[in-house]
Amino acid sequence: MRRYRGLIALALCIFLGLIATKAVYWYLTRPKPVLTQVKTEAKQPERPLTFSEKFPQGMRIMAIKLDNDSAMPGQIERGDMVDVVATSRIPDKNDASVTRIILEGVEIYDTEEEAGDSSKQKSKRQEERVISLLVSPEDAVTLTAASESARLSIIVRNKSDEDLSGDLTATYSYNRGVEKITGEDNPSSIQPIPGMRAITITAKNTDGVQGVLNPGDRVDIIITSPWSRFSTSETDAPGAKGTVTETSLSSKIFLQDVEILATEKILDLSVGMEEPVQRVTLLVTPDQAVKLTAASDATKKSVLRLVSRHPDDRKRDEIGYELIDILADKKVYHRVDIYKGIEETFKNFFH
C-alpha cells in the first residue's frame, strides 16, 4: 500500500514539474509586447484669420473717403447697403457739374470706427469719414478711377430694395439748374425711328429761343441763298457766255415741323448747359435728308436758320421772299400753285 502511495506521489510531482516547466518555458519564450508611447501634444490655439480671409472669395475690399456731409456719422454701420455717387466739375465750366450713380447696392464691410481707430483726438464725424466697401473687381476699378477726379458720396438704401436706378446722370449749372440725363439719352441709344433719318447740321446761337434748342422741340428750317439772273446774246446752250443782269437774296421756308432728335449737350457733357447749342440732329424723312444735304453742302453762301414752333402747331405755310421785293415793299396780290408730277412750287405776283 505504501508503495502505491509513493508511486502516486511521484507521478503527481512529475506532473506538477511538467506544468511548472511548461509555464517557465512559455514565460521565457512568449513575444514581448511592443510598448507604444502615446505622445500627448499640447493643443495649439487656432490661428486668427487674416483680414483678407474674412471676406468672400472673388470679392474685394475698397476703402473710400467721404466728406463730412456724406459720412452720415453715427448712422451707417457694417452690413448697410448704399449707392455710390460721383460728382465732378464739367471741364472749363466752373459753375457747372455732373453727378452720376456709379455703383448700386454695395455692402458696407467696415467703417473706420469699427476698424479699430480709437484715437480720441478725432471726432466721431471724422472717425467715420473712411468706409470699406465689399465690391467686385470691376467695381473696385470703377471706384479707383472715380476717386481720382470726383467727389464721392453715398446714398443709404434699404437692404430689400433690389430696384436699380439704371444709368442716371444729372447736370447742374446756375443758369439752367438741374437737368436729368437718363440711359435713353445715351448716344448709343439715340436712334431714328424706322423709315426716318437722322442728320446733324450746324446751328446758330440766335436760332430757336436765344439758342435754346432741346430734344423733342419742333422747328421750321428757313434757307437764305443768293441767286442771279443771266442774259445771253446768242443761245441758252450750256457754255454760252452771259451777263449777270440781277442779283438778290431769297429766303423761304425750306422744311417745316421737324423734330429735334438730339443736341450736342446730351452727347457731350463738356458743353455748358447754359450755352447755345452749336450742333443739332434732326429727325427727317429720306427725301428731306437729301434736300437738306444739298442745301447745306452745295454752297457755303446759303444760310440755314432754325425757327422754334409750338409742338401742337401742325399748320404748314409756303412762304418765300426775295430781298429786293421786301426792300421795294412789294405786296403779294395773287399766288399761283404749280404742280409738276409730285413736285409742288408756287409763284407770287406783286403790285
pLDDT of residue 121: 47
Cβ within 8 Å of residue 334, ≥6 positions away: 348, 349
Give residue limits of the domains in the chain. 53-177, 192-230+244-314, 318-351
- Interstrand relation of 81-90 and 151-157 (parallel, antiparallel or unpaired): antiparallel
Cα three-residue angle 139-83-156, rounded to 5 degrees: 145
Helix (H) / strand (E) containing 23: helix 2-29
pLDDT of residue 263: 84
Cβ within 8 Å of residue 109, ≥6 positions away: 55, 61, 78, 132, 133, 134
Residue pLDDT tens, the chain, 351 long: 666 777 777 777 787 777 877 777 777 777 766 555 555 556 667 878 887 888 888 899 988 887 666 656 567 788 899 999 888 887 666 677 888 888 999 998 888 654 444 555 455 445 447 888 999 999 999 888 888 888 888 888 888 887 777 667 777 766 667 777 665 555 545 677 888 999 998 888 888 888 888 888 999 999 888 876 666 655 566 666 666 666 777 888 889 999 998 887 755 555 555 567 788 999 999 999 998 888 888 767 788 888 898 888 878 777 766 666 666 566 666 777 888 777 777 777 765
pLDDT of residue 94: 63
Distance CA 160, CA 46 (A): 36
Which residues, in sequence order, are bridge partners of residue 347?
Answer: 336
Q: What is the dihedral of CA 146, 149, 151, 154, to 10 degrees?
A: 0
- Whether 189 and 289 have beta carbons less than 8 Å apart is answered as no
State pLDDT tens for residues 163-202: 777 667 777 766 667 777 665 555 545 677 888 999 998 8
